[in-house]
Amino acid sequence: MTSPDNILLHLPQAEERQVREVFARLAEQGFPPQQQTPHITITYSPIMAVEAVRRAADLLPSVIPSPFRRVGTVVFGTKRKRTVAWLLETTDAMESAAREISALNPESRGRSWTPHLTMGLRLPREIVPDYIRALDEVTSPHFKQLTAVRAAHWMPRIQELTVLAGASSEHRRDHRETDR
């Protein structure tokens, strides 16, 4: 099964490295390794609506870079596999842009958007409490701020990343962008 198309936000390299260090410390403790590129998803779909991509290209340049603040930990999923993520808050301008883009994606939940950074993908539900406890232990209490420095449209089925806003110097085509 191919991962869905995404309109997503990338972190600067230093922050991405910090997240990957957390992934590595969790893996050292025996938890499933996390291979995904750290990112914040605005919306996703098996094939992204052209209107959503166009509107993202219009709206996102005015809000990138955008600050995010970690405000908690959330668990997504109702089946055997769960996702653990950092819950994030951002500016009203980014929030408004993301909701408008999401509303143009027929596969989304309308104008709803829950900004988050996935820290544990496809985890067996039995390990989630221990994973959250370990995540809290290995994450520096000072690592609370994140910055979205680039917005992009990622199409994994053809391995194409189109930068919509922000720094294009970090353009990479080898992402594994799944966030569910």
Q: What is the DSSP string of 42-85?
A: EEEESS--HHHHHHHHHHGGGT-SEEEEEEEEEEE-SSSEEEEE
pLDDT of residue 15: 97
**pTM of this prediction?**
0.88
pLDDT of residue 81: 96
pLDDT of residue 180: 38
**How many CB atoms within 10 Å of residue 42?**
28
pLDDT of residue 174: 38
Coil vs helix vs strand at 40: strand
Low-confidence ranges of the chain (pLDDT < 50): 169-180
pLDDT of residue 176: 38
Longest dimension (CA), the chain: 44
pLDDT of residue 1: 56
User: Sign (positive/negative) of CA torsion 40, 45, 51, 53?
Assistant: positive
Amino acid (1-letter code) at residue 109: R
Token duo for residue 14: 């230093």
Which has the closest alpha carbon to 15: 38, 32, 33?
A: 38
The model's pLDDT over 125-172, given as tens digits with 9 standing for 90+, comes to 999 999 999 999 999 999 999 999 999 999 999 999 999 999 754 444
